[in-house]
Amino acid sequence: MKKQHFDPITLEILWRRLVSIVDEADASVARTAFSSLLRDAHDYTCMFTDSRGQELVQGTFCTPGQAGAMALGVKKIIQSMPLDSYKEGDVFIVNDPWLLAGHLNDVCVLSPIFFKERPVAFTACVFHHSDIGGRVSSDNREVFEEGIYIPVTRLYDAGVLNQDLLNMIRWNVRTPEEVTGDIRSQVAANHVCAEKIIEMMTEENLTTLDDLADEIITRTETSMRAAIEKIPDGTYDHKGVIEGAGSRPDIHVQLAVTVDGSDIHVDFAGTSSQVDWGVNVVYNFTYAYVFMAIKSAFDPDIPINEGAIRPVHMTAPEGSIINCRFPAAVAARMQVGHFMTEMVFNALAPATPDRVIAGSGGTPAQTNILYGKRGNGKPWHTMIIRGGGMGASRNMDGHHCAIFPANGANTPVEILESDTPLIVTERGLVTDSGGPGRQRGGIGRLMTLRVPTVEESGGHPPSRTTIAVQAGRFVYPPDGIFGGKPGACARFLKNTEPADPSGLTFLDPGDSITFVSAGGGGYGDPVERDPQAVLCDVQYGYVSVEKAKTDYKVVIDPDALTLDLDATRILRHKPKGV
Partner 1 sequence: MDQSGFRLGCDIGGTFTDFVLVNTRTGEFFTNKCLTTPNDPSDAVEKGIKELLQVKPGFLDQVEDVIHGTTLVINAIIERKGAKTGLITTKGFRDVLELGREIRYDAYDIFSQYPAPIVPRALRKEIDERVTADGRVLAPVDEKQVRALVTDFQKQGIESLAVCCINSYENPVNEQVLQRIIQDADPDLSTSFSFEVLPQIREYERTCTTAVNAYVKPITFQYLERLTLRLADMGFLGRLYIMLSSGGITSVETARKFPVRIIESGPTAAVIASQHYGKMFHIKDMFCFDMGGTTAKSCLIQKGNAGLVSTFEVGRVQRFKKGSGLPIQVPVVDLMEIGAGGGSIAKISSLGLLAVGPESAGADPGPACYNQGGENPTVTDADLVLGYLDPDFFLGGTMALDIGKSRTAIEEKIANPLGTSVTEAAFGIHDLINETMAAAAKTHIAEKGGNPSSVVMSAFGGAGPVHAYGLAKKIGAKSILVPPLAGVGSALGFFTAPVAFDLSRSHRLALGEADFGDIEDLFAQLEKEGAAILADAAKDTRVMFQRTLLMRFVGQGAETDLVIDPKPFTQWSHKEIRDRFDTEYKRLYGRTYPETPVEFVTFKVRASLPQKPFSMPRLTGKANTLAACIKGQRKAFSVVNKTYIDFTVYDRSLLFAGAGFAGPAIIEERESTIVMGEDASATVDDTGFVWIRIGEETR
Considering beta carbons, is residue 22 or 328 the nearer one to partner 1?
22
Comparing CB distances to partner 1, the nearer of 328 and 370 is 370
Q: Indicate which single residue of 60, 153, 258, 544 sits in contact with partner 1 (rule: CB under 8 A).
A: 60
Considering beta carbons, is residue 235 or 495 the nearer one to partner 1? Answer: 495
Chain positions 216 to 235 lying near partner 1, rule: CB under 8 A, are 219, 222-223, 226
Range 80-99, binding partner 1 (CB under 8 A): none
- Which one of 63, 433, 502, 505 is in contact with partner 1 (CB under 8 A)? 63
Q: Select from 145, 157, 195, 500 the one that contacts partner 1 (CB under 8 A).
A: 195
Q: How far is the CB of 329 from partner 1 (least distance, A)?
A: 27
Closer Cβ to partner 1, 270 or 412, answer by number? 412
User: Among residues 330 and 402, whose Cβ is nearest to partner 1?
Assistant: 402
> How far does CA 117 lie from the centroid of its chain?
37
Q: How many residues bind partner 1 (CB under 8 A)?
A: 89
Q: Does 188 engage in binding with partner 1 (CB under 8 A)? A: yes
Of residues 162 and 254, the one with the C-beta less far from partner 1:
162
Residue 402 binds partner 1 (CB under 8 A): yes
Which of 192/275 has CB closer to partner 1? 192
Name the CA dihedral angle for 294, 58, 415, 104, rounded to a multiple of 10 degrees: -80
Measured distance CA(34)–CA(206) in Å, rounded: 36
Selection from 79, 80, 38, 77 nearest residue 59 by Cα:
38
Toward partner 1, which CB reaches closer, 143 or 264?
A: 264
How far is the C-alpha of 23 from the C-alpha of 101, rounded, in Å? 20
Minimum CB separation from partner 1 for residue 406, in Å? 9
Tell me which residue of 415, 417, 408 sits closest to 388, measured CA to CA. Answer: 408
Asked if residues 122 and 53 have their Cβ atoms less than 8 Å apart, the reply is yes
Least spacing, CB of residue 300 vs partner 1, in Å: 5
| Residues within window 312-351 making contact with partner 1, judged by CB under 8 A | none
Residue 222 to residue 89: CA distance in whole angstroms:
36
Q: Which of 285, 339, 404, 482 binds partner 1 (CB under 8 A)?
A: 404
Q: How far is the CB of 274 from partner 1 (least distance, A)?
A: 28
Which residue, among 445, 452, 363, 373, has the nearest Cα to 410 in the 3D structure?
Answer: 445
Nearer Cβ to partner 1, position 143 or 216? 216
> Considering the rule CB under 8 A, would residue 13 count as an interface residue with partner 1?
yes
* Rounded Cα–Cα distance for residues 410 and 362 (Å): 12
CA distance 297 to 306: 18
Binding partner 1 (rule: CB under 8 A), the pick from 51, 335, 407, 502 is 407
Measured from the CB of residue 275, what is the shortest distance to partner 1 in angstroms?
Answer: 29
Residue 148, CA distances (Å) to 44, 95, 100, 399, 427 in order: 19, 9, 15, 37, 34
Q: Is residue 166 a contact partner of residue 180, using CB atoms and an 8 Å limit?
A: yes
Q: Which range binds partner 1 by CB under 8 A, 19-27, 134-142, 243-251, 550-558?
A: 19-27
Nearer to partner 1, 149 or 156 (CB): 156
Interaction residues for partner 1, span 258-287 (CB under 8 A)? none
> How many whole angstroms separate alpha carbon 147 and alpha carbon 143?
8
Phi-psi region of 260 (alpha: psi -120 to 50; beta: other; left: phi over 0): beta
The distance of closest approach from Cβ of residue 320 to partner 1 in the complex, given in angstroms and rounded to an integer, is: 27
Q: Which amino acid is at 391?
A: G
Q: Strands of 418-548 (E only): list them.
A: 423-429, 445-450, 465-470, 491-494, 497-498, 504-507, 512-516
**Which one of 145, 456, 525, 564 is in contact with partner 1 (CB under 8 A)?**
456
| Contact assessment for residue 500 and residue 528, using Cβ atoms and an 8 Å cutoff | no
Residues 486-545 that bind partner 1 (CB under 8 A): 539-541
State yes or no: residue 31 binds partner 1 (CB under 8 A): yes
Q: Coil, strand or helix: which one is 297?
A: helix
**Least separation in angstroms between CB 369 and partner 1:** 18
Here's the x/- map for partner 1, 369-388, by CB under 8 A: it reads as -----------------xx-
Q: At what angle do helices 8-32 and 176-203 cross, to 10 degrees?
A: 160
Q: Which of residues 156-185 bind partner 1 (CB under 8 A)?
A: 177-178, 181, 184
Q: How far is the first Cα of the chain from the last one, in angstroms, to the nearest whole number? A: 81
Site residues for partner 1, 419-448, by CB under 8 A, read: 423-429, 445, 448
- Tallying the residues shown for the chain, one arrives at 578
- How far is CA 118 from each of CA 1, 14, 508, rounded to the nearest angstrom? 15, 21, 58
